[in-house]
């Protein structure tokens, strides 16, 4: 009987440890208990198509991520038609949230062919349908570095249209308000126009729910000013939606000390930034890996375990000093933030829609009309009046390969095509900051009830 009781309590404890959904409110993320959530994440793409279908591998990686101190991962490619229950549970039990790109190999919004059509929408929807049931899904991306060259800014209205339509689909289906946002290349010539445009206009249904930045401008040794993080902070001050680094961790000249984390989570930036995702989990040709699964692949290795000469499966082994440097750094950082009950969204501000500049990188002239579903760009979109900009209205509740330049002006984007969905389903932290008292009280009550029954 005692053995049975302990087994029941063990199962209840495991259930109690499951992660609660994170909410985007104003320009911050909040836990269910009202405490602010900060991202300490890593980019995770073991294989080209989908790393979230190998349960055993996910369990091995999740265990080491927990030791690292990570509470989130960013996944670029998923197959909506596959079973993800095992991996999502493994990361959930390790206290790790998941952020996903919705586009697929065939639905990436290309700068050279500007359109947003039903084929793209349907594939995005399949990803949302498949993953909306997991409470540890933190957010969904409509794109990654779609704007990476001088002539690419006309993509922006299509990204905004994709966010508009996916948010409307989310709400129409009755899904929880999973935040929908965009991951941008950090290009000096587009600062801060792109982030301002994606959140401007005053209509909360047409803006992104968060803005993320792939930035490699802090290369140890560096400083807040030398890295231009001071400029990034200037542009992020009182931003209307959560903003965070979706890739960071310059490896030039190396080894990486991750001193940028002190700035991101310190007094200079913590009031406006929601954390950072470090690039990347697995060692590849670009030499950014925190872990590896063995020496360079041999010819007798199975093909499905090896891509580009690197083993993608097995027991993860930390690559030091980088792994320990990041582990030590994150262990020393404990941002508390603000409680949701004390947070006033009137402190945030919606910027005006940026105007185009002659000869400049930004070519979208103000609050242009967004393309409708099925529309292809054949000319310039005309500007339209902005709705009344009400900060509270924007308080929504809402593998990448190749070398990194480390310059900060532009990160490489060779994995722009993300996804690989075949067939979707149509309908369809454990954080140290979370209070343990509630779990303890719940278990105590259950013990008492079982004792009475016994």
Q: Which of 23, 93, 126, 247 is catalytic?
A: 247
Judge contact between 12 and 443, C-beta under 8 A: yes
One-letter-per-residue 3-state SS of 122-177: HHHHHHHHHHCCCCCEEEEEEEECCCCCCCCHHHHHHHHHHHHHHHHHHHHCCCCC
Q: Does residue 234 have an active-site annotation? A: no
- The rounded distance, in Å, linking the Cα atoms of 8 and 228 is 54
Structure-block tokens of residue 36: 């602010």
Judge contact between 102 and 128, C-beta under 8 A: yes
CA 23 to chain centre: 13
Q: Does residue 23 have an active-site annotation? A: no
Q: Which of 126, 145, 284, 292 is catalytic?
A: 145
Determine phi and psi for 69, rounding to 5 degrees. Answer: 100, 15
- The rounded distance, in Å, linking the Cα atoms of 206 and 212 is 17
Judge contact between 194 and 156, C-beta under 8 A: yes
User: 412 - beta bridge partners?
Assistant: none
What does the radius of gyration of the chain's CA atoms come to, in whole angstroms?
22
Structure-block tokens of residue 150: 């001088």
H or E stretch at 311 = strand 310-311
H or E stretch at 88 = helix 85-93
B/e letters for 3-16, b = 16+ CB within 10 Å, e = fewer, are: eeeeeeeeebeeee
Cβ neighbours for 253, distance < 8 A, ≥ 6 positions apart: 219
Q: Around Cβ 364, how many Cβ atoms within 10 Å?
A: 22
Judge contact between 280 and 251, C-beta under 8 A: no
Active site residues: 145, 247
């Amino acid at each position: 009987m005692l053995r049975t009781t302990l087994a029941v309590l063990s199962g209840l404890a495991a259930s109690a440890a499951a992660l609660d959904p994170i909410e985007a409110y104003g320009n911050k993320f909040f836990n269910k208990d009202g405490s602010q959530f900060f991202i300490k994440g890593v980019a995770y793409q073991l294989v080209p198509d989908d790393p979230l279908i190998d349960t055993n591998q996910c369990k091995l990686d999740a265990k080491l991520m927990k030791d690292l101190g990570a509470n989130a991962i960013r996944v670029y490619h998923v197959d909506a038609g596959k079973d993800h229950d095992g991996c999502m549970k493994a990361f959930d039990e390790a206290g790790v949230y998941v952020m996903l790109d919705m586009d697929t190999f065939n639905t990436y919004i290309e700068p050279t062919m500007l359109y947003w059509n039903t084929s793209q929408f349907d594939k995005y929807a399949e990803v949302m349908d498949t993953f909306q049931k997991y409470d540890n899904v933190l957010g969904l991306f409509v794109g990654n570095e779609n704007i990476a060259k001088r002539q690419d800014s006309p993509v922006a209205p299509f990204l905004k249209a994709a966010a508009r339509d996916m948010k409307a689909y989310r709400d129409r289906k009755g899904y929880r308000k999973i935040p929908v946002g965009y991951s941008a290349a950090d290009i000096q010539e587009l600062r801060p126009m792109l982030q301002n445009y994606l959140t401007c206009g005053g209509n909360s249904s047409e803006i992104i729910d968060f803005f993320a930045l792939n930035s490699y401008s802090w290369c140890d040794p560096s400083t807040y000013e030398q890295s231009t993080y001071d400029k990034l902070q200037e542009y992020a001050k009182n931003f209307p939606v959560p903003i965070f680094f979706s890739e960071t961790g310059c490896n030039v000249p190396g080894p990486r000390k991750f001193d940028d984390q002190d700035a991101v989570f310190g007094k200079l930036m913590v009031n406006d930034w929601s954390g950072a995702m470090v690039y990347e989990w697995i060692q590849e040709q670009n030499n950014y890996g925190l872990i590896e699964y063995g020496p360079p692949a041999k010819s007798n290795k199975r093909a499905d375990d090896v891509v580009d000469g690197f083993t993608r499966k097995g027991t993860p082994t930390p690559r030091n000093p980088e792994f320990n440097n990041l582990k030590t750094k994150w262990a020393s950082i404990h941002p508390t933030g603000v409680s949701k009950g004390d947070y006033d969204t009137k402190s945030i501000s919606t910027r005006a829609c940026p105007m185009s500049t002659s000869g400049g990188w930004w070519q979208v002239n103000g609050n242009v009309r967004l393309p409708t579903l099925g529309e292809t760009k054949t000319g310039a979109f005309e500007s339209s009046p902005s709705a009344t900009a009400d900060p509270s209205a924007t308080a929504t509740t809402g593998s990448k390969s190749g070398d990194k330049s480390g310059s900060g002006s532009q990160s490489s984007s060779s994995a722009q095509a993300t996804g690989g969905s075949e067939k979707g389903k149509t309908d369809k932290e454990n954080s140290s900051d979370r209070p343990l008292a509630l779990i303890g009280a719940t278990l105590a009550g259950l013990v008492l009830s079982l004792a009475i029954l016994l």
